[in-house]
Amino acid sequence: MRANRPPFRVALIQMRCSTDAGDNLRRATAMLRDAAKGGAQVACLPELFLTQYFCQTEDAATFDLAEPIPGPTTEALAEVARETKMVIVGSIFERRTAGVYHNTAVVLNPDGSLVGKYRKMHIPDDPLYYEKYYFTPGDLGFKSFETAHARVGTLVCWDQWYPEAARLTALQGSEVLFYPTAIGWHPSEKAEFGEAQASAWETMQRAHAIANGVFVAAVNRIGHEGPADGGIEFWGGSFLADPFGRILAKGSRDREEIITATCDPRLQEETRRNWPFLRDRRIDAYAPITQRFLDGG
């Protein structure tokens, strides 16, 4: 994290994903260009934006959707980065080799160069979220990337529930943590649990912002995907929180839109001076955190 870095403008691309990958890429790149016209310097796309959320079922043929990095999608995003002079965070189904696939976030600089990639570390296995079938757990560790406009930390969806992930990424100097996301309601549960689920999701990430003194951006998709009598209704609500946990900008539940806000690193400096949580950490006492559970067995 460089001292006295100027403020930077962030754009969150909240979009609907169709069954046509080419259409998704065209609309995503168009929204990125619109974000740049609105002054954005750093932009982030939702998780696995190129396709509908395929982890609702287990189908070996779906592995055909995966691609290498660098590959066609990173090349397309790199072209937009060069054209717009933006930093772009994208989410890709990565083919590493036959039988080894990852859910990967890439970071591209304004010159189109690949700054780096992060492979999703926490992989869920829940009804309609059968990610363990598709994704090998990340092996690159938690990552923070120095870009032309900001020091960017990248995490992905299920990672957002883990304070350890946010802390280890923030400790590398991140000014903003991006969470490309695909999260929504099971329609049969929405009436009873919907409000509480969405509130918990937002609260957890705002807590990461406060605990670590960083900006946090959650970038979700919208729309219903899957069978009409089931599937997932993605709840949108993409937002950017500041180091106090305050919501600077937030998207709707059901519209494609570009959510923008300005991040001022001076606020991070001021917040950490007054809430010096990193200073007061008892790193000498945290060794048990590496155990699964402290039950003596």
pLDDT tens by residue, 85-144: 999 999 999 999 999 999 999 999 999 999 999 999 999 999 999 999 999 999 999 999
Q: Is 83 considered catalytic here? A: no
Active-site residue (options: 47, 94, 131, 225) = 47
Active-site residue (options: 55, 117, 120, 143) = 120
Residue 130 falls inside a structural domain: yes
Asked if residue 220 lies in contact with residue 254, where contact means CB atoms within 8 angstroms, the answer is: no
Residue 267 falls inside a structural domain: yes
- Kindly report, residue by residue over 151-205, the tens digit of the pLDDT: 999 999 999 999 999 999 999 999 999 999 999 999 999 999 999 999 999 999 9
CA-to-CA distance for 19 and 219, rounded, in angstroms? 20
Active-site residue (options: 131, 157, 233, 263) = 157
pLDDT score of 3 more than 70: no
CATH code, 161: 3.60.110.10
Q: 107 lies in which domain range?
A: 8-290
CA-to-CA distance for 256 and 250, rounded, in angstroms? 12
Q: What is the number of domains present in the chain?
A: 1
Residue 164 falls inside a structural domain: yes
Residue 296 falls inside a structural domain: no
CA-to-CA distance for 265 and 175, rounded, in angstroms? 7
Phi and psi, residue 232, nearest 5°: -130, 135
pLDDT at 224: 97
Q: Is 225 considered catalytic here? A: no
pTM above threshold 0.85: yes
Q: Which residues contact 32 (CB under 8 A, 6 or more apart)?
A: 11, 13, 43, 45, 77, 80, 84, 86, 88
Asked if residue 43 lies in contact with residue 81, where contact means CB atoms within 8 angstroms, the answer is: no
3-state SS assignment for residue 157: helix
Q: Is 67 considered catalytic here? A: no
Residue 233 falls inside a structural domain: yes
Residue 162 falls inside a structural domain: yes
3-state SS assignment for residue 280: coil
Residue 297 falls inside a structural domain: no
Residue 31 falls inside a structural domain: yes
3-state SS assignment for residue 290: helix
